[in-house]
Every structure is written in structure tokens, then in C-alpha cells.
Amino acid sequence: MPVVVFSLLRLALFAVCFVALWWVGMRSWLAAIVAAFLAWGLSYVLLSRPRDAAATYLADRAGRQRRSEDDAAVEDAADDAARQDG
């Protein structure tokens, strides 16, 4: 869930930048490019807590998946050993 929250906050930041640029008078495709760079820079500064929460969530999830793969490897090795003995 933190990844979704972070993504939505970044999307909202892009929308705000785009609308601000449009309102100021930059009414071309260049507004989207400039808004993307502005949102990228602002998200780095303003969204550090949600970014850290998303990174922690993804790291925990990867760790759980890695442990699950390790458990499966141990079970496969035990199964192979049992089949060779029997």
C-alpha cells in the first residue's frame, strides 16, 4: 500500500505542476515535459517519508520472497535426499 500512496502523491504533484504551468501560459507539449522534471525534483524534496515507507515495504517484501525461495530449496533438497535413500 505505501507504494500506491507514493505513486498517487507523485502523480498529484505532476498534475499540480502541469496545471500551474498551463495557467501561467505554457500551453504546449513542453508543459508536460517541464512539469515532469519539476514534479521529479519536488517529489525528491517533499515526499521523502512516503518514499522511504515505499522502499521499506518493497525491501521487506523482497526479503520474504527470498526466504520463501530458500525454504523451497531446502524442502527440494530434503525431498531429493529422501528419494535417493528410498
CA separation, residue 43 to residues 28, 30, 61 (Å) = 23, 20, 23
Query: What pLDDT is recorded for position 8?
Result: 97
pLDDT tens, residue order, the chain (86 aa): 999 999 999 999 999 999 999 999 999 999 999 999 999 999 999 999 999 999 999 999 888 876 666 666 666 666 666 778 75
Closest CA to 39 of 21, 55, 15: 15
